A and B are shown apart, each in its own frame.
Chain A
């Protein structure tokens, strides 16, 4: 074991890895903090850039992006009450009130320390828990892998959103798309329409780019044009004087902000030493986190991290659920429950430690069993495959050095988040409100460059647009694309292992119920589907009617 860890450290500790991991964290924080850009989108857009890298550099960079993005989501949640990522929804509950009290600096630092704490604890758990799970998984044969893939597909129930039926259809469409092209086991072409265009099937990257990134660009562009039109209409009903007045008010607001800042500076200059000391101490108090404050949230950090590690390791649960469960638990056990929702440091710490803890724990089922727990890990599974790594138990035996290097990389990336978050948050926060008119075209350039660079094949470039149109159409009808991605990735694993099992058993389906591990997976699958149905119902009842955040906020306040 010691030799493996030493080998892993040798693989990991290179200047190239250090620089790319830092780049990943920076991109992650930026993507996370801009509302409308997601970690998922970030990983898809930067995935093509990793093709020329070695597996460790590539995966560590993407995981650093994931970790950075989870922290980045809190920046806009705290400063403008808009979570940059879904997993930062609970952060708004206490982060924004703190910012309104003039303690934005303190809130950002609590969020940073909590994120890093959760991330570090989870990566240690990943390092300790993954190898034993993988050694059990080594005993799996084709029937067990088939049942495992079915278990993975049951995640669809957890990520279906409002309608499970729509989730199942979406997941099945993903499996169907994965079947286009050459069938690896029988050598038969399926749905290729005798065209060279479809003989190779639909590769993963163009599918991800089309279904997620480009479909999202269409959706956002529609919103931007609608807003511009509404603005224009509003202006057309206004008189010239009213427009002039509105412009003047905006200008006056900006000037007032500048004047207030200048007045503060002038006030500091006119103060004597004593007064300046008091003012600076107050400023420091609002900007920094004291040791006493940190010790005050330590218990919450530990409890929330472990809750989120358990939830994050469960396929389908994800950061959003982990965050609210942790927040609720922190509130239930807190001595200052009255502060929750009004700027509680404990509430903020619970929310933020949990979403970064999920980064490490979601890697447990991915690395040991090859089962992605949510949309982001599904894409990461694709990234592993593109690097020639097959997530699963064999990763710990056949490519142990690389695997442990990746796990240690997850651990170290948290320290990079800490360093960058500490020194760069203020600068990064300035780009929160970057307009989509810049983002839309730039994202499109990234998408098309990425699709083409996958293999240099123009077919893959051409595929993206119809896929995006189909993705936009189904998302308009309320079909989530996350189950589709899971189907796309897990479909071939399920089919290949089903066929192998049937050959092994000479056509008897009994093989799936006579092997103990297979039965265990079937039972676990049924249990999880039941739990997901219950969770979806509870979540939907909270998310219907008015705004999601307000509803969740109210329900949390009631508890």
Chain B
């Protein structure tokens, strides 16, 4: 599927900026005393307005000036891989918290290598060894605490 990045990007950021603009009053309470014309809502509103304007300009660039950057997106073939990697990252985060850094890393390595289609045993062994090495480098050498067995 071909995606017009200027058009889609413009639409996405117009939506994002509109949502942010609408939630600003509820998310940023105004202080009781106003001083020198500045308030905590000023900068967010300015930034969001610039995003909105640039989004509109991107759409105009695409539709009126016909200046477009088209990319080929393969949802089935490629984006499923991206989703799977993101899911592995989510699983890794959960496992670090619940089971500990090393166990989480081992599961993540297995998942990633399976995703890459690795069937030989050696890459798994090497990655496990490196994971243990990195863990002890953080904990033993740099004295930076990482979740041990059993998680946090």
Q: Given A165-B58, A224-B116, A453–B86 Cβ distance below 8 Å? A: no
Q: Scoring A residues 170 to 203 as 1 if CB is less than 8 Å from chain B, else 0, what string do you get? A: 0011011001000101101111110000000000
Please determine whether A186 and B31 come into contact, CB atoms closer than 8 angstroms: yes
User: Judging by beta carbons under 8 Å apart, are B81 and A222 in contact?
Assistant: yes
Q: Mark A143-186, 1 if CB is under 8 A from B, else 0.
A: 00000000000000000001101101100110110010001011
Least CB distance from B65 to A in Å reads: 11
CB of B31 within 8 A of CB of A472, answer no
Known: A179-B44, A465-B86. A441 touches B31 (CB 8 A): no
Interface of A is mostly: helix
Interface residues of B in 71-126 (CB under 8 A from A): 71, 73, 77-79, 81-82, 85-86, 89-90, 92-93, 96-97, 101, 104-105, 108-109, 112-113, 115-118, 123, 126
Q: Is the CB of B97 within 8 A of A461?
A: yes
Q: A49-B144, A441-B108 are in contact. Are A166 and B9 (CB under 8 A)?
A: yes
Smallest Cβ distance from A395 to chain B, in angstroms? Answer: 26
Distance in angstroms between the alpha carbons of A448 and B134 in the assembled complex: 11
A531 contacts the other chain (CB 8 A) = no
A438–B89 contact, CB under 8 A?
no
Closest Cβ of chain A to B84, distance in Å, is: 8
State in angstroms the CA–CA spacing of A225 and B116 once bound together: 5
Residue pair B142, A49 in contact (C-beta under 8 Å): yes
A468 and B105: CB pair below 8 A?
Answer: no
Given known pairs A188-B40, A225-B117, A461-B96, the reply for A438 and B71 (CB within 8 Å) is no
Q: Is the CB of A438 within 8 A of B50?
A: no
Indicate if the CB atoms of B81 and A453 lie closer than 8 Å. no
Q: Is B96 a contact partner of A448 (Cβ separation < 8 A)?
A: yes
Q: List B contacts of A36 (CB < 8 A).
A: none
Interface of B is mostly: helix
Contact of A172 among B47, B130, B134 (CB under 8 A): B47
Q: How many chain-B residues does the 8 Å CB contact rule pick out?
A: 73
A370 to B134, CA, bound (A): 33
Bound form: Cα–Cα A321–B117 in Å: 39
* Given known A-B contacts A169-B9, A179-B43, A446-B134, A191 and B27 have beta carbons under 8 A apart: yes
Q: Give the residues from 459 to 501 in chain A that come closer than 8 angstroms, CB to CB, to chain B.
A: 461-462, 464-465, 468-469, 472, 474, 476-479, 495, 498-499
Q: Which residues of A contact B147 (CB under 8 A)?
A: 452
Q: How far is the CA of A469 from the CA of B93 in the complex (A)?
A: 14
A437 pairs with B123, CB closer than 8 A: yes
Interface residues of B (CB under 8 A from A): 3, 5-6, 8-9, 12-13, 20, 23, 27-29, 31, 35-40, 43-44, 47-48, 50-51, 54-55, 57-58, 61, 69, 71, 73, 77-79, 81-82, 85-86, 89-90, 92-93, 96-97, 101, 104-105, 108-109, 112-113, 115-118, 123, 126-127, 130-131, 134-135, 137-138, 142-147, 152
14 contacts between A and B (CB under 8 A): A52-B142, A169-B9, A190-B28, A191-B28, A192-B27, A222-B85, A224-B116, A442-B127, A446-B134, A452-B146, A462-B93, A464-B93, A502-B37, A502-B38
Q: Which 9 pairs from chain A and chain B are nearest by CB?
A: A507-B37, A507-B36, A453-B144, A188-B40, A477-B9, A478-B5, A225-B81, A437-B116, A441-B109
